């Protein structure tokens, strides 16, 4: 399979997977709240932050794992490929057992961090199930990354879609049977168990097809290589996990579990945009490694063009987030979850900077600048956590996105200030300005008419901007023609 086809196939299927998750989340979260109190759901979200933190014990080895498998596959060194695969999988198995052990110990002290009161038992038991699920996810991620590294991502993406869909059905059945929060815990567990079984079978088939054999060696030297060379990645991933887990934990502890739920749900659309755009960014990682290994400047330029479209996609998606987020929240979960217009703009800006940050990380990693990037990530994470602690206490709800804006902007300035210099900055700014002006304009219309009026007005302005800025329009058409016609 060509690099471009691998990127596009994986991106399409991963977007499909995300859309399924998004649709079910939008439909089912209000449904969950009929069976689970908002306080209990808030504690579930907050303790999920602890689970995310424990997932860091894959030590960041996945990045090295992808790098090595991709390079050996590109160079057709299949003996080394299979040795690194088997040695890596053994290491991931050991790490998954470590996650289980540490998670079980932490589960006995959850009430030290949160005032669980009557929810102590159910949160403790569901947390333990979630920890076991996380340990299986580590193994699944390794197998999925193997498939992407050898440019065969399609079947693994199908399995994610199938297992997720079936797990949602399991959740709904268990909710109807009054399992309450246990429904979510067992549903996610089922998803990982099913996906792991399918991924193992497919991985063995691909190994046989590529190398013509199953035989390989588990080498202590390879395991030692992964551990020694992952030290910077480990601390970088630890920092990233600390950030992801600290937001709900700090908000729950400072403002209460209800505010934790409101915070997470109010930026849900932003998170969806971030995830979808990052599908394209992350899917290109194995191919970018192969491109750098081949040192093909023409192909690099084309992949760079593909990467740069992330800026355009972010602009369009986040401008509509600014425009329609509160209407979305009103329809989805009710007026009590609506946030201020200023908070909406802050969430959009913080998400844009996070998207650009992830793009820069992938480009730096694929160019073997892992150590420098990981060190910068560590300092960025420490900086952000400190900001989170002080700004949430000072600004309350808005302290979260403000801390992200400050830390991400600083990271981008240091790692590559050019990532903030965009040749289409003026039209991009005008698109955002359009959404902000429309957001603050009082239309005095009911919801049924308000949403289409906002959308149509914003689309007219975007079309006008495309008409006025020729280079902006031409670059977009160049990209579309490349995706449609070119081959890598």
Contact (Cβ atoms closer than 8 angstroms) between residue 168 and residue 129: no
pLDDT for the residue 43: 78
pLDDT score at 257 = 66
Q: What is the mean pLDDT of residues 275-281?
A: 77
Higher pLDDT, 323 or 245: 323
Residue 6, both tokens: 């691998």
User: Of the given ranges (59-63, 131-135, 482-486), which has the lowest mean pLDDT?
Assistant: 482-486
Residue 115 clears pLDDT 80, i.e. is over it: no
Residue 347: what pLDDT? 93
pLDDT band at 487 (very low <50, low <70, confident <90, very high): very low
Q: Answer whether residue 238 shows pLDDT above 80.
A: no
Write down the residue that tokens 């063009």 correspond to: 305
What is the distance between the alpha carbons of residues 95 and 100, in angstroms, rounded to a whole number?
Answer: 9
**Range of 23-27, 139-143, 276-280 with top mean pLDDT:** 139-143
State whether the Cα torsion 124-130-132-135 is positive or negative: negative
Q: Which helix (H) or strand (E) holds 154?
A: helix 154-176
Instruction: Tell me what the pLDDT averaged over the chain comes to.
Output: 80
CA distance 287 to 70: 8
Query: Quick one: which of 95, 78, 90, 100 has its CA closest to 138?
Result: 95
Helix (H, G, I), strand (E, B) or coil at 160: helix
What's the predicted TM-score (pTM) here? 0.66
pLDDT of residue 345: 93
Contact, 18 vs 271, CB < 8 A? no
Q: How confident is the model at residue 11 (pLDDT cuts 50, 70, 90)?
A: low
The 10s digit of each residue's pLDDT in 212-232 is 878 888 888 888 888 777 766
Per-residue pLDDT tens digits for 399-431: 888 998 999 899 888 887 766 666 677 888 899
Sign of CA dihedral 78, 159, 157, 270: negative
What pLDDT is recorded for position 488? 44
Following CA atoms 171, 26, 116, 396 in sequence, which dihedral angle do they give, to the nearest 10 degrees?
170
How far is the C-alpha of 286 from the C-alpha of 303, rounded, in Å? 12
Flag whether pLDDT at 25 surpasses 80: no
pLDDT of residue 217: 85
Quick: pLDDT tens for 174-218: 988 988 889 989 998 999 999 999 999 999 998 888 878 788 888
* pLDDT of 304 over the 70 cut: no
For the CA atoms of 216, 220, 223, 228, the dihedral, rounded to the nearest 10 degrees, stands at: -150
Q: Which two tokens stand for residue 314?
A: 């972010």
User: How many Å is the Cα radius of gyration of the chain?
Assistant: 23
pLDDT band for position 283 (cuts 50, 70, 90): low
The confidence score (pLDDT) of residue 433 equals 92
The pLDDT > 90 percentage for the chain reads 16
Lowest-confidence segment of 130-139, 238-247, 402-411 by average pLDDT: 238-247
The residue with greater pLDDT, 188 or 480, is: 188
For the ranges 1-5, 166-170, 343-347, which has the lowest average pLDDT?
1-5
pLDDT higher than threshold 70 for residue 302: no
Q: What is the pLDDT of residue 318?
A: 93
pLDDT value of position 195: 93
Both structure tokens of 473: 């329009």
Structure confidence at residue 244 (pLDDT): 62
CA dist., res. 138 & res. 184, Å (int): 19
What digits encode the pLDDT tens for the residues 369-391?
777 787 788 788 888 888 888 88
The answer to whether residue 16 scores a pLDDT higher than 80 is: no
Q: Could you report the per-residue pLDDT of 32-83, keeping only the tens digit for each?
A: 878 888 778 777 777 776 676 666 666 567 777 887 888 888 788 888 888 8
C-beta pairs of 300-304 under 8 Å, 24+ apart in sequence: 302/482, 302/486, 302/488, 303/3, 303/488
The whole-angstrom distance between residue 233's C-alpha and the CA centroid of its chain comes to: 17
């Amino acid at each position: 399979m060509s690099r471009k086809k691998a990127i596009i196939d994986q991106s399409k299927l991963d977007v499909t997977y995300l859309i399924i998750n998004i649709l079910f989340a939008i439909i089912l979260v209000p449904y969950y709240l009929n069976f689970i109190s908002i306080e209990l759901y808030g504690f579930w979200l907050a303790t999920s932050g602890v689970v995310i933190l424990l997932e860091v014990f894959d030590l960041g080895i996945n990045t090295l794992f992808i790098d090595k498998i991709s390079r050996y596959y590109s160079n057709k060194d299949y003996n080394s490929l299979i040795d690194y695969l088997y040695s890596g999988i053994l290491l991931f198995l050991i790490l998954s057992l470590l996650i289980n052990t540490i998670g079980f110990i932490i589960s006995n002290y959850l009430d030290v961090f949160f005032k669980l009161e009557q929810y102590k038992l159910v949160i403790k038991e569901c947390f333990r199930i979630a920890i076991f699920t996380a340990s299986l996810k580590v193994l699944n991620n390794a197998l999925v990354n193997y498939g992407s590294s050898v440019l065969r991502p399609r079947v693994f993406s199908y399995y994610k879609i199938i297992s997720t869909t079936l797990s949602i059905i399991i959740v709904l059945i268990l909710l109807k049977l009054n399992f309450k929060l246990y429904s979510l815990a067992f549903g996610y567990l089922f998803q990982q168990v099913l996906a792991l079984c399918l991924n193992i079978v497919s991985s063995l088939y691909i190994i046989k097809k590529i190398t013509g054999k199953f035989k390989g060696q588990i080498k202590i030297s390879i395991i030692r290589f992964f551990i020694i060379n992952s030290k910077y990645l480990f601390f970088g991933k630890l920092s990233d996990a600390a950030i992801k887990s600290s937001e709900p934990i700090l908000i729950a502890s400072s403002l209460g579990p209800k505010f934790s739920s409101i915070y997470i749900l109010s930026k849900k659309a932003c998170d969806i945009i971030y995830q979808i755009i990052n599908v394209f960014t992350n899917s290109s990682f194995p191919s970018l490694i192969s491109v750098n290994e081949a040192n093909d400047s023409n192909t690099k330029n084309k992949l760079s063009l593909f990467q740069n479209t992330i800026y355009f996609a972010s602009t369009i998606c986040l401008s509509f987030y600014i425009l329609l987020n509160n209407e979305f929240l009103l329809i989805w979960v009710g007026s009590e979850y609506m946030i201020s217009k200023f908070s909406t703009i802050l969430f959009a800006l913080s998400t844009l900077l996070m998207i650009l940050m992830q793009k820069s990380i992938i480009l730096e990693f694929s160019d073997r600048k892992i150590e420098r990037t990981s060190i910068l990530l560590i300092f960025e994470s420490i900086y952000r956590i400190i900001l989170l602690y002080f700004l949430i206490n000072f600004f309350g709800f808005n302290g979260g996105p403000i801390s992200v804006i400050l830390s991400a902007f600083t990271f981008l300035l240091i790692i590559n200030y050019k990532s903030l210099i965009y040749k289409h900055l003026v039209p991009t700014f005008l698109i955002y300005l359009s959404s902000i002006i429309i957001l603050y304009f009082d239309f005095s219309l009911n919801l049924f008419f308000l949403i289409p009026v906002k959308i149509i007005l914003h689309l007219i302005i975007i079309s006008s901007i495309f008409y006025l800025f020729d280079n902006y329009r031409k670059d977009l058409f160049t990209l579309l023609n490349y995706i449609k016609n070119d081959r890598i």
